[in-house]
Chains A and B, each alone.
Chain A
């Protein structure tokens, strides 16, 4: 596709349920990032994938959060046993991750509401 796509665009769930969020990066981009944007807060880094390297999970807020990237392309962010504080917009970005071509391009986001 022309840009980064994410699904679903909106998700409403009940506290304690698990949710899966999907990201399709720009074709050919080796780096993929997940961020979280809460009301009144800046974008917060969650996790980063680069090629076949081990992901950088340093931004994940708890062990309820996990992510995988299959075949170096599509990524899924999973939140287990959701809590109300998990309500936020989850944004995915991809980049070439080359010197001089560092720009990250963002998808439209998934708006998660935990009731």
Chain B
């Protein structure tokens, strides 16, 4: 069964304290892995798409990496405005999938000044 597991469920950081969020996945073939940011009361906001192991993408203080079994979202010197829930999702290529995303439950990040 295709599955996505994110850890930790919640993470509290001090401003400037770098850390990483983990996304482990089990899929029958990977079309793509996606990271989204979701603020309370809003829809998920796209951050990154990764397609193959070894791929890395960066945006401001965020860097996403991908291996054959997991992805990491590295946050360097976070600021309070980085506080949000970060969602990981995969698009499986096998079975009867029609391209819908399978989401993890997210990591709620809080950055204190």
Cα–Cα, bound, A115→B44 (Å): 26
A42 at the interface (CB under 8 A from B): yes
CB-based contact A56/B103 at 8 Å: no
- Segment 63-110 of A: residues with Cβ below 8 Å from B: 91, 93, 95, 97, 100, 102-109
State whether B43 touches A108 (Cβ < 8 A).
Answer: yes
Q: Do the beta carbons of B51 and A100 come within 8 Å of each other?
A: yes
Q: Do B99 and A102 touch across chains, with their CB atoms under 8 A apart?
A: yes
A48 close to B98 (CB less than 8 A)? yes
A-B pairs under 8 A by CB, number = 65
Q: Which of B10-18, B29-37, B58-66, B74-82 contacts A (4 or more CB under 8 A)?
A: B29-37
Whether B99 and A91, one on each chain, are in contact in the complex, defined by CB atoms closer than 8 angstroms, is: no
- Whether B100 contacts A107 by the Cβ 8 Å rule is no
Task: Please give, as numbers and ranges, the residues of chain B lying within 8 Å of A35 by CB-CB distance.
Answer: 101, 103
- The answer to whether A42 touches B104, judged by C-beta atoms less than 8 angstroms apart, is yes
Q: For residue A45, which residues in chain B have a CB less than 8 angstroms away from its CB? A: 100-102
For residue B46, which residues in chain A have a CB less than 8 angstroms away from its CB? 103-106
B residues at A contact (CB < 8 Å):
4, 31-32, 34, 36, 41-46, 49, 51, 87, 89, 91, 96, 98-106
Residues of A near any B CB (own CB < 8 A): 4, 6, 31, 33, 35, 40-43, 45, 48, 50, 56, 58-59, 91, 93, 95, 97, 100, 102-109, 111
Taking A31-B99, A106-B44, A108-B43 as given, write out 20 further A-B residue pairs in contact, using a Cβ cutoff of 8 Å, ordered by the A residue number. A33-B99, A35-B101, A40-B105, A42-B4, A42-B106, A43-B44, A50-B98, A50-B99, A56-B98, A58-B96, A58-B98, A59-B100, A95-B99, A102-B32, A102-B34, A102-B91, A103-B32, A104-B101, A106-B43, A109-B43
